[in-house]
Amino acid sequence: MTKHFSPFAFGRFSLTRPRGLSGFFVALLFCALLLPVSAQTLRLPAAVRAPSLSVQTVAGTESRAADFIVAVVNSEPITNNEVQTRLARIEQQLSRQGTVPPRNQLAREVLERLIVERAQLQLARELQVRPDEAAVDQAATTVARQNQLTLDELKSRLAADGMDYTRFRADLRDELTLARLREREVDTRVKVSEQDIDQFLRERDAQAQAVPELLNIAQILVAVPETATPVQVTALQAKALRALTRIRAGEAFASVAAEMSDSPEAASGGELGPRPAERLPTLFVDAARSLPAGGLAGPLRSGAGFHVIKLIDKSRNEVAASVTQTRARHILLRLDPQLTEQAAKDKLADFKRRIAAGQADFGALARENSQDGSAKEGGDLGWASPGMFVPEFEQTMNQLAPGQVSEPLVSRFGVHLIQVQERRETTLSEREQRESVRNIVRARKIDEAYNQWLQDVRGRAYVEFRN
């Protein structure tokens, strides 16, 4: 029997929608493709960063001079042109965010990113971790669909941004390889025990708070090497104080972070993004709780170095005891050589017109036409909690009122017509609440394990820098 997949089949590892088409290939490769993991940020901890390096540029643009080697990773070279190509992409992305560090500093960070990626790809080859061509094809098709483009239109947009499709596919293949390597070497090895959950609950209860805080903090980290002498520690503390003084004098936190911070988030202004308090260092949480929005604290000393933090905002984030569930049904048409995307959209648009006119019943059309396993149930997907469906499906569904039918929606599975039947508030059982906590603990442990694994991979690589 052929196995059918409903739209929530791969929800945990879904691709996310790009933020826009400006700087198109940057959005595709850095926003649309991979899991949201810390390794994909630009900066890396100071322990794995490159020494001072001069990368050849002309008038702030990529040099057209003869290429040359700037670093060797386990006998595999990284060239100046590779650094310049990646640097141009990053600068384009950061310019839209309004914060671009000095070019030489950014070039060093880009080179270090390439070194760590190269070391990971070499490890992937040793372990025979490699996506097949069908997976690369599917990733390219998904990127095109999520941007409402055909594959030919995607190729044209890439060409307009100066990137040929062969290079684009090679980058997709590398990104998929890195994601699969992470899943194999880190994600699948992280386990959350019942004792971990119990410990989390005990710690939460000990804080005597019914709900944990959701804190959005930005930081500047001045890293202190483990081998630092007392004189060096004093100098690094003074650097952190200078950063704090500049901010209090009126300079933008993001600009100072981009220039002075050694944290992975420095290139994006140091902002960590909203996180539950339990997923932040206790040092940060204790300092932030007494701050008003926009308040500063530091320098704070940790094992990593000296931190200056800014509380951007805070709110309450309940570990959900209740959630809003949606009961929806859908009609899915899968694409193949005989059914193009436009033909599927046209067919479903006609279904919607007939339903609105009272000429057809949604359930009957689903049973007769849907290519999903839910067809025999009239397309009924049952009661679903948030996060069960892939993002593109769930976002559209959440915008519908009960009884309303969507426009045809393209997802990685095909083209859908969705109808929301009803919604309800439901209280999670004790088991469901523990599962919610399990997800929080797992995410925290994966972050820690992945950062440590990256350090180990980088530390095992032989790297030779050249001028």
Whether the CB-CB separation of 424 and 386 falls below 8 Å is answered with no
**Residue 212 pLDDT more than 60?**
no
CA of residue 72 relative to chain centroid, distance: 29
Dist. CA 132–CA 129, nearest whole Å: 10
Dist. CA 105–CA 96, nearest whole Å: 19
Please report which helix (H) or strand (E) contains residue 142, including its range: helix 133-146
- For all residues of the chain together, what is the average pLDDT? 78
β-pairing, 409-411 with 305-316? unpaired
Residues 6+ apart with CB under 8 A from 441: 192, 196, 197, 200
Dist. CA 408–CA 397, nearest whole Å: 12
Whether the CB-CB separation of 327 and 420 falls below 8 Å is answered with yes
Lowest mean pLDDT across 53-67, 142-156, 169-183: 53-67
DSSP string, 157-207: HHHHTT--HHHHHHHHHHHHHHHHHHHHHTGGG----HHHHHHHHHHHHHT
**Residue 92 pLDDT more than 90?**
no
- In this prediction, residue 321 carries a pLDDT of 58
Of residues 72 and 4, more confidence is placed in 72
Residues 6+ apart with CB under 8 A from 249: none
- What share of the chain in percent tops pLDDT 90? 25
Sheet holding 322-333, edge to edge: 380-384, 322-333, 414-427, 409-411
- In this prediction, residue 35 carries a pLDDT of 31
Alpha carbon distances (Å) from 382 to 263, 414, 423: 44, 20, 11
Q: What is the DSSP letter of 55?
A: -
**Residue 350 pLDDT more than 80?**
yes
Dist. CA 463–CA 126, nearest whole Å: 18
Of residues 412 and 184, more confidence is placed in 184
212-317 topology per CATH: Chitinase A; domain 3 (3.10.50)
What is the dihedral angle through the alpha carbons of 425, 429, 435, 438, rounded to the nearest 10 degrees? 100
Whether the CB-CB separation of 308 and 297 falls below 8 Å is answered with yes
**Residue 153 pLDDT more than 60?**
yes
Please state the domain extents for the chain: 17-187, 212-317, 322-427
Lowest mean pLDDT across 13-17, 151-155, 239-243: 13-17
Of residues 52 and 141, more confidence is placed in 141
**Residue 59 pLDDT more than 70?**
no
- In this prediction, residue 98 carries a pLDDT of 58
Lowest mean pLDDT across 77-81, 197-201, 399-403, 436-440: 436-440
Residues 6+ apart with CB under 8 A from 121: 174, 177, 178
pLDDT in tens, 260-297: 888 777 767 788 777 777 777 888 888 887 788 888 98
Residues 6+ apart with CB under 8 A from 19: 27, 31
- Residue 88 CB neighbour total at 10 angstroms: 16
**Residue 63 pLDDT more than 60?**
no
Instruction: Give the bridge partners for 217, in sequence order.
Output: 311
pLDDT band at 48 (very low <50, low <70, confident <90, very high): very low
Of residues 98 and 289, more confidence is placed in 289
Alpha carbon distances (Å) from 183 to 29, 121, 189, 223, 463: 19, 14, 8, 29, 25
| Backbone phi and psi for residue 314, each to the nearest 5 degrees, phi listed first | -145, 150
Q: Determine the Cα angle at 78 with ends 156 and 48, to 5°.
A: 110
Task: Note whether 17-187 and 322-427 share their fold.
Answer: no
- In this prediction, residue 442 carries a pLDDT of 85
- In this prediction, residue 207 carries a pLDDT of 60
Dist. CA 366–CA 139, nearest whole Å: 28
Instruction: Give the bridge partners for 315, in sequence order.
Output: 214
- In this prediction, residue 2 carries a pLDDT of 30
Which range, 199-208, 226-235, 242-251, 325-334, has the best average confidence (pLDDT)?
Answer: 325-334
Q: What is the DSSP letter of 282?
A: H
- In this prediction, residue 377 carries a pLDDT of 93
**Residue 428 pLDDT more than 90?**
no
Dist. CA 178–CA 250, nearest whole Å: 41
CATH class for the region spanning 17-187: mainly alpha
Buried b (16+ CB within 10 A) or exposed e, 199-216: ebeeebeeeeeeebbbbb
Dist. CA 383–CA 336, nearest whole Å: 30
The structure tokens listed for 1 are 């029997």
**Residue 221 pLDDT more than 80?**
yes
**Residue 419 pLDDT more than 90?**
yes
**Residue 21 pLDDT more than 50?**
no
CA of residue 268 relative to chain centroid, distance: 14
Dist. CA 399–CA 382, nearest whole Å: 18
Lowest mean pLDDT across 174-188, 194-208, 309-323, 390-404: 309-323
The reported pTM is: 0.50
Sign, CA torsion 147/152/153/158: positive
**Residue 361 pLDDT more than 90?**
yes
Of residues 284 and 5, more confidence is placed in 284
**CATH number assigned to the domain covering 322-427:** 3.10.50.40
The structure tokens listed for 271 are 């902002």
Mean pLDDT (whole number) for 377-404: 86
β-pairing, 69-73 with 463-465? antiparallel
